[in-house]
Amino acid sequence: MRKKWTIVAFVSVVVIFGYNLRSIADCKSDCRETYESEVESCKDTYDDPDDAGMLQTCIDDATSQYQSCIDECENEVGESVSISEFQPITLK
């Protein structure tokens, strides 16, 4: 009986971590889509060669926002479940 509960606990942990890995992938994908959209907007807004400096600043801002978004994805998933939250199951 103990073996059955150990297997159930293990499968539960695997499912939770699998869900979190998918969540972080979805979050990062959203960040990437937003970044690409912002870069295209920068290119459309600053299409004159005289605006090269402003274009670079706009792209730099988009890159910074992208990195912040990625960091937020990793922090949110890291906070939702951590290994330390799982305690060994003891059956009586």
Domain membership flag for residue 92: no
Tell me how many domains the chain contains.
1
Q: CB burial class (10 A; 0-12, 13-18, 19+) of residue 9? A: middle
Average pLDDT of the chain is 79
Residue 32 has pLDDT above 90, yes or no: yes
CB count, 10 Å around CB of 80? 13
Stretch 62-81: mean pLDDT, rounded? 84
Domain membership flag for residue 85: no
Q: According to the model, what pLDDT value does residue 24 have?
A: 80
pTM: 0.64
Residue 90 has pLDDT above 80, yes or no: no
Q: What is the DSSP letter of 24?
A: H
Domain membership flag for residue 59: yes
CB count, 10 Å around CB of 19? 13
CA angle 66–72–76, rounded 5-degree value: 150
